[in-house]
Amino acid sequence: GSDGPPGCYEDFEHTDCLIAFGSNLPEQHPIIFWRLKSALEKRRFPVIVVDPRVTMLAQMADMHLPIRPGTDVVLLNALAHVILAEGLADMDYIESHTSGFEAFRHLVADFDPVSASRICGIDEDTIRNVARLYAKAGAAMSIWTMGI
């Protein structure tokens, strides 16, 4: 594989929801932050930051989830749990473009929002709301950088 981003700068201009994990773009990746800021000036979309730190990006975000360090995967699995449990996943796309999905579904079944909340420190209703917001966005985007 390649250790490179799967997206491109232009993705910021088309997203309807952005979740940033462990990312303080203004200080770590100023060019990417500039692209995000430019996209937000053209049209507003929710920015959700998952980071135990109160970073510059977290301060400007619509939602900051100050997760317990080292529990990012628990939160990600809980988000997937909600999306699948509430029928918000694009199953046609998943069936056409993935393999091993049933094993993934089985894995995330154990990460309900109540259990995940106890581990990662994010309120269970917040987990549900973020999952719904992300799943219902026409074009959702997630990024991670140096904090993960």
Distance CA 23, CA 50 (A): 8
Q: Sign (positive/negative) of CA torsion 5, 45, 57, 126?
A: negative
CB 18 within 8 A of CB 47: yes
Q: Scanning the structure block, which residue is given the tokens 């100050």?
A: 66
Q: 11-144: what CATH class?
A: alpha beta
Q: Would you give the distance in Å from CA 79 to the centre of its chain? A: 8
Per-residue confidence band for 6, with pLDDT thresholds at 50, 70 and 90:
low
Q: Express each pLDDT in 9-20 by its tens digit.
A: 788 888 999 999
Decide: residue 17, CB within 10 A, 0-12 exposed, 13-18 middle, 19+ buried. buried
Distance CA 3, CA 114 (A): 34
Per-residue confidence band for 39, with pLDDT thresholds at 50, 70 and 90:
very high
Residue-level pLDDT at 19: 96
Q: Express each pLDDT in 50-73 by its tens digit.
A: 999 999 999 999 999 999 999 999
Answer whether residue 118 shows pLDDT above 90: yes
Residue-level pLDDT at 48: 98
Domain ranges of the chain: 11-144
Least confident span in 33-37, 82-86, 89-93: 33-37
